[in-house]
Structure 1
Amino acid sequence: MCGIVGYLGFRRADQVIISALKRLEYRGYDSWGVAVKHGDELGLIKRVGAIGEVEGYSVAEGSVGIGHTRWATHGKPSELNAHPHTDCRGKVAVVHNGIISNFQSLREELESRGHEFSSETDTEVIAHLIEEEYRGDLREAVMRAVERLKGSYAIVAMHADSEELVAVRYKSPLVIGVGDGEWLIASDVPAVLDYTNRVIYLEDGDVVKLWSDGLRIWNGGKEVERKIVTIPWSIEDAEKGGYEHFMLKEIHETPRVIEDTLFEYLSEDIEIDASFSAGISEIVFIACGTSYHASLIGKYLIEKLSGIPVRVEFASEFIYHHPPMHRALAIAITQSGETADTLEAMRIAKKLGARTLAIVNVLGSTATRIADHVLYTRAGPEISVAATKSFIAQLIVLYLIALKLSRMPGSEVSRLVEELRIMPELVRKILEREDEIREIAERLAGFENMMYIGRGIGVPIAMEGALKMKEISYIHAEAYPAGELKHGPFALLGEQTPVVATLVPDDTYEIMLNNIKEVKARDSIVVAVAEENDMEVEKYVDHVIRVPRTEHIFTAITHSVALQLLAYYAARKRGCEIDKPRNLAKSVTVE
């Protein structure tokens, strides 16, 4: 869950690396460091704090270097624990993203042979293993060192006596930026976009050697070729574009994201190859976090429109209890395509005999290579830790899958498709009400506890709304099916516990009004998310967030965008670090 960068070229490496690390700060931001080859020595600097605040740092003159921005997994944030880590003589330097599960036994073994460690991290063992194996060939030393490792890793290594970089990837993301006379290595594409839009996505087991004349890649002891991919994003796409925060920018990009994703799969008809569903008896979603909530909405849609039974599993739990998967389609949803638990769940699902489909935002990511079938969302880079536009893009793909698998008459499917086509305009109308939502959010910002309630499709909408509120505003927010409040949570209601209710215009509407009345009887402030023509709800609540009228199955889009804005403005009022909430990172690439 860290960001790593390597550079080899004609520019001053420290400046390139610091600039690139700032693009990766969403992957970790508790400490950072840079190492640069200067003559036959390594210049090294490590600091606690966010790389985004760094200006004017100089490490050493040199055109080969590595850098790292950290999200702590082993050892607290400190200069000693920050990367790069070096060997006993200060000749080898490494940066690493992942977890070395057998590091403690390796450390004890190395210490018994006289190696001295300066950090609490798992990464430092890699530098000492390379030191032991180095005989003048860095690639050979790295390859022998990683043979000893268990776990997940993306590693970039350098040596003071060598004008080269060596990188290895196993279960943690790593890309190569292909420039003109220069090379970059990074955890994610935004880090290289200032210098090139051509990248190579490395695969598990790849070992890469970069030097001034080129690169070579090996896998399984054999030299291999990997294709160069042209990235369609500009660097401006990865910048704030005048918005105060990336999160707000990304919410405002949602109409375009919907249009782009629909354009990918929708012309006159839904152009999704549904062969992945042939012969299946059930669908099992595997996902984490926001993608898990998208999966719950997918369950509702697919069961309602197609009648196919659907289960939703936390990927982090699935990998330990291995449920039956006979004739199942496993649908994995992961924005980055690198979520460790989801990737492992995909591998297990395949071993259990399931067909696999990945819904992914990042071209060439690991999930796309594991899955039998892939559907891409077209959300573009999402920098803020809190998922917003990527969540809506996932929903668009799920709507299209559900409609493709639907058993409804063709005329009804066509009607719903036409309704889906106008979603970008409906979202724009919600964004026009931004000031109204901000006023309500600022009233909620002073509370420390909240509840979100819904029924039917409104339940996962409420769950995602509560997640957004808690992760960026630090308000303790929990979501429940509205009918479950009386089974315990009622005890928490009162003047200091506002409740956000999602009202869906379907057969749950009347009972939701009754649930709201029950909440109001406990003196809680109630904020309802309801359609603009709903005049009844005003009689029973304190505030109403208005969204455009749409078919009830599409309220997952309209309500979710409104709740994203509600969370954003509550966090803004509380002065929170919205794009980089404490203790969280964008892409969870460790178990």
Structure 2
Amino acid sequence: MCGIVGVIGGKPAAPIILEALKRLEYRGYDSAGVATLSHGDIVRRRAEGKLFNLEKALDSHPLDGTIGIGHTRWATHGAPTERNAHPHATERVAIVHNGIIENFRDLRERLTAGGAVFQTETDSEVVAHLVTHYLDKGLAPRQAAAAALKELEGAFALGIIFKDEDDLLIGARRGSPLAVGYGVHAMYLGSDAFALAPMTNRVSFLEEGDWVEITREGAVFHNADDDIVERPIRITDVSTALVDKGNHRHFMAKEIFEQPEVIGHTLANYVNPVDETLRLPKLPIDLATVPHITIIACGTASYAGLVAKYWFERFARISVEVDIASEFRYREAALPAGGLAIFISQSGETADTLAALRYCKAHGQTILSIVNVAESSIARDSDVIMRTHAGPEIGVASTKAFTCQLVALAALAIGTGLARGTIDAADEPRLVRTLLETPRHVAEMLSRDSEIHALAGEIAKVRDVLYLGRGHFFPIALEGALKLKEISYIHAEGYAAGELKHGPIALVDENVPVIVIAPVDALYEKTISNMQEVIARGGKVVLISDREGLDRAGDQVWAKIEMPKVDPLIAPIIAAIPVQLLAYHAAVAKGTDVDQPRNLAKSVTVE
């Protein structure tokens, strides 16, 4: 989770930016930098590694100027070197960027043909050159930034300053959070209110698609259509907190809306967007000859494993067994020699999962763990780890950790298929591009929050809910039911849609909503047939599908939630978003303790 800071005021900006960046260290980073305007010119200091390296650079070569931007970078496109560190700049523009610019190759080729000279391997640099392109065409800085934003595809947050413009700082948000802080004859920009806490407790948050003009005396917000809009100023109290709730009522909501950002950072570790290839960690085992994969986890993480089972079997044509850790550890499982055991845990401290890991290790399995905490017990006991870069997850009900687990597992499944020759190498770029589209589609799904909010008010009134899905949407049905149970205390069950007639249909009546997850795919018609069985018995169906699927389902559906049309590879990741939002808003409507639901703990460290 890269960190962005911007300052415009009457005091030297660089020291203020550096202190704010230190408050963003918890987000993780591998390089950092600052840019200011000195007598109208853009000047920069950047450094690889931790902030003390940047601090040394600033001590030896100070920056003056009262306007500037700073950045802590987690490498996505390009190695974590000083050259690739932010801010990126031309003679006329400097930018800091968090996220992924999906169409950077096309833009880079066009801009290079027009004479632009790129200095880095990053996708971010294209933003500086694109804004410069519009400045060179005669547009004023505000208009140049607005024009450039319309050409960018992906999920991102941006901070932009301009040569000879010492009273203008531009911020923009699409998918990644960004806040504006209000001082006295000074203004601030930051990835979250925590970074700005020492300077101000008066903060406004950019909404999805917003961009903002910041001067020393205030801020003018624009929506995605460039219309001027109002964004309320809130008083925050985050001076002693590690993280704050931002523009959200609960940590869970904040974490749901962070998913475009953290999915992008997780993906960045396992794909190379420049040459569109995978870059998986080296395993002490040959994926081409692994005879069997065992996936073990608890709760939500086990549902990530169930989705991965479909991916491994489809892409790699390898037998996969998924088990919950608390059962696996006691059944004395027979494990094939040379097998791969994958363990999934947000905390890396889950007691049952750790015990199962040690059993597999004692029986000759290679251990790969997917964890969010690199220093955890599970990580230390593994042969190799694939870290999810979800950042701190405060809400007990897992959201962003789950989707980050899914994208890591998707990359691993594709890599296994390539190693085994079950995926043609020519398909690798297409699959990598599909994975890189995930943050944008998640952001698109999140834009439907208000519609889901309204529906959740009705769901909150019932006692029982059924979730149905087929194929890799069956685990999402399980996850949707679990989320609703965890935080709203409504009884909910997830089923494979084909099992409806084998028992659950007895529960169907007008008082039991049935949530059906069915984007158009090879199993769509079968799932819709199951849905019609529910409708025929008076059941109220909530259909989660893409536009084509919603249209083909007819008018008898009680409620509809539209998903973007996406490649089947990433469809279960996108489908996780509406079930999270539905559970969250139902819980809020019921007045439960969303972040700390009764009887539950974030990390289960005892059996």
Query: Aligning the two structures, in what range does the TM-score lie when normalised by the shorter sequence?
Result: 0.5 to 0.7
Matched, 1:380 2:395: no
- Residue 565 of structure 2: SS of its match in structure 1? coil
Please give the alpha-carbon distance, in whole angstroms, between the structure 2 residues aligned to 1:518 and 1:237: 50
- Residue 315 of structure 2: SS of its match in structure 1? helix
Aligned length: 361
Are 2:445 and 2:564, in contact at CA under 8 Å, matched by a contact in 1? Answer: yes
Are 1:503 and 1:512, in contact at CA under 8 Å, matched by a contact in 2? Answer: yes
Indicate the residue corresponding to 1:431 in structure 2. 446
Are 1:255 and 1:425, in contact at CA under 8 Å, matched by a contact in 2? Answer: yes
Alpha-carbon displacement from aligned partner over 1:425-446 (angstroms, at most 9, x marks no partner)? 1111111111011111111110
Runs of 4+ in 1 over 3 A off after TM superposition: 234-237
Alpha-carbon displacement from aligned partner over 1:126-152 (angstroms, at most 9, x marks no partner)? xxxxxxxxxxxxxxxxxxxxxxxxxxx
Please give the alpha-carbon distance, in whole angstroms, between the structure 2 residues aligned to 1:529 and 1:576: 25
Matched, 1:299 2:309: yes
Judge which range, 377-386 or 499-508, deviates more: 499-508
Please give the alpha-carbon distance, in whole angstroms, between the structure 1 residues aligned to 2:523 and 2:556: 16
Q: CA deviation at 1:538?
A: 3.8
Alpha-carbon displacement from aligned partner over 1:147-169 (angstroms, at most 9, x marks no partner)? xxxxxxxxxxxxxxxxxxxxxxx
Matched, 1:369 2:380: yes
Q: CA deviation at 1:419?
A: 1.3
5+ residue gaps, structure 2, are: 1-196, 198-238
Matched, 1:249 2:259: no
Please give the alpha-carbon distance, in whole angstroms, between the structure 1 residues aligned to 2:396 and 2:379: 22
Alpha-carbon displacement from aligned partner over 1:243-282 (angstroms, at most 9, x marks no partner)? 1000000000000011111112211311103535514200
Indicate the residue corresponding to 2:564 in structure 1. 548
Are 2:350 and 2:603, in contact at CA under 8 Å, matched by a contact in 1? Answer: yes
Indicate the residue corresponding to 1:583 in structure 2. 599
Are 2:520 and 2:548, in contact at CA under 8 Å, matched by a contact in 1? Answer: no
Indicate the residue corresponding to 1:338 in structure 2. 349
Are 1:338 and 1:365, in contact at CA under 8 Å, matched by a contact in 2? Answer: yes
Matched, 1:240 2:245: yes
Does the C-alpha gap of structure 1 residues 322 and 496 become closer, same or farther in structure 2, counting only changes over 3 Å? same
Please give the alpha-carbon distance, in whole angstroms, between the structure 2 residues aligned to 1:506 and 1:540: 21
Indicate the residue corresponding to 1:539 in structure 2. 555
Report 1:117-516 matches (<5 A): 238-267=243-272, 268=275, 269-278=277-286, 279-326=289-336, 327-406=338-417, 407-516=422-531
Please give the alpha-carbon distance, in whole angstroms, between the structure 2 residues aligned to 1:274 and 1:562: 35
Please give the alpha-carbon distance, in whole angstroms, between the structure 2 residues aligned to 1:440 and 1:560: 17
Q: CA deviation at 1:237?
A: 6.0
Please give the alpha-carbon distance, in whole angstroms, between the structure 2 residues aligned to 1:538 and 1:437: 20
Are 2:513 and 2:541, in contact at CA under 8 Å, matched by a contact in 1? Answer: yes
Are 2:345 and 2:370, in contact at CA under 8 Å, matched by a contact in 1? Answer: yes
Q: Give 2:580's match in structure 1, choosing from 564, 582, 585.
A: 564
Q: What is the aligned-residue RMSD (CA, Å)?
A: 1.8
Indicate the residue corresponding to 2:63 in structure 1. none
Alpha-carbon displacement from aligned partner over 1:520-578 (angstroms, at most 9, x marks no partner)? 11111100110134311243411111111101121111110111001101111111110
Alpha-carbon displacement from aligned partner over 1:180-214 (angstroms, at most 9, x marks no partner)? xxxxxxxxxxxxxx9xxxxxxxxxxxxxxxxxxxx
Corresponding letter in the other structure for 2:281? D
Please give the alpha-carbon distance, in whole angstroms, between the structure 2 residues aligned to 1:348 and 1:365: 18
- Residue 457 of structure 1: SS of its match in structure 2? helix
Does the C-alpha gap of structure 1 residues 277 and 506 become closer, same or farther in structure 2, counting only changes over 3 Å? farther
Are 2:281 and 2:384, in contact at CA under 8 Å, matched by a contact in 1? Answer: no
Report 1:48-59 matches (<5 A): none
Please give the alpha-carbon distance, in whole angstroms, between the structure 2 residues aligned to 1:277 and 1:314: 24
- Residue 553 of structure 1: SS of its match in structure 2? coil
Corresponding letter in the other structure for 2:428? V
5+ residue gaps, structure 1, are: 1-193, 195-233
Alpha-carbon displacement from aligned partner over 1:19-55 (angstroms, at most 9, x marks no partner)? xxxxxxxxxxxxxxxxxxxxxxxxxxxxxxxxxxxxx
Indicate the residue corresponding to 1:529 in structure 2. 544
Corresponding letter in the other structure for 1:581? P
Are 1:276 and 1:357, in contact at CA under 8 Å, matched by a contact in 2? Answer: no
Are 1:357 and 1:371, in contact at CA under 8 Å, matched by a contact in 2? Answer: yes
Please give the alpha-carbon distance, in whole angstroms, between the structure 1 residues aligned to 2:284 and 2:553: 43
Q: CA deviation at 1:484?
A: 0.8
- Residue 504 of structure 1: SS of its match in structure 2? coil
Please give the alpha-carbon distance, in whole angstroms, between the structure 1 residues aligned to 2:355 and 2:484: 29
Please give the alpha-carbon distance, in whole angstroms, between the structure 1 residues aligned to 2:443 and 2:536: 35
Please give the alpha-carbon distance, in whole angstroms, between the structure 2 residues aligned to 1:567 and 1:460: 16
- Residue 561 of structure 1: SS of its match in structure 2? helix
Are 1:516 and 1:540, in contact at CA under 8 Å, matched by a contact in 2? Answer: no
Are 1:503 and 1:530, in contact at CA under 8 Å, matched by a contact in 2? Answer: yes
Are 2:351 and 2:605, in contact at CA under 8 Å, matched by a contact in 1? Answer: yes
Please give the alpha-carbon distance, in whole angstroms, between the structure 2 residues aligned to 1:496 and 1:519: 12
Are 2:283 and 2:384, in contact at CA under 8 Å, matched by a contact in 1? Answer: no
- Residue 321 of structure 1: SS of its match in structure 2? coil
Are 2:540 and 2:558, in contact at CA under 8 Å, matched by a contact in 1? Answer: yes
Please give the alpha-carbon distance, in whole angstroms, between the structure 1 residues aligned to 2:270 and 2:571: 21
Please give the alpha-carbon distance, in whole angstroms, between the structure 2 residues aligned to 1:548 and 1:577: 31
Fraction of identical pairs, as percent = 43
Are 2:348 and 2:378, in contact at CA under 8 Å, matched by a contact in 1? Answer: yes
Does the C-alpha gap of structure 1 residues 369 and 434 become closer, same or farther in structure 2, counting only changes over 3 Å? same
Corresponding letter in the other structure for 1:290? T
Are 2:542 and 2:558, in contact at CA under 8 Å, matched by a contact in 1? Answer: yes
Corresponding letter in the other structure for 1:305? F
Q: CA deviation at 1:235?
A: 7.6
Q: Give 1:519's match in structure 2, choosing from 534, 545, 558.
A: 534
Corresponding letter in the other structure for 1:518? E
Does the C-alpha gap of structure 1 residues 274 and 556 become closer, same or farther in structure 2, counting only changes over 3 Å? farther
Please give the alpha-carbon distance, in whole angstroms, between the structure 2 residues aligned to 1:276 and 1:527: 46
TM-score w.r.t. length of structure 1: 0.60
Q: CA deviation at 1:504?
A: 3.1
- Residue 447 of structure 1: SS of its match in structure 2? coil
Please give the alpha-carbon distance, in whole angstroms, between the structure 2 residues aligned to 1:521 and 1:556: 27
Please give the alpha-carbon distance, in whole angstroms, between the structure 1 residues aligned to 2:282 and 2:569: 21
Are 2:293 and 2:318, in contact at CA under 8 Å, matched by a contact in 1? Answer: yes
Q: CA deviation at 1:331?
A: 0.2
Are 2:315 and 2:414, in contact at CA under 8 Å, matched by a contact in 1? Answer: yes
- Residue 596 of structure 2: SS of its match in structure 1? coil
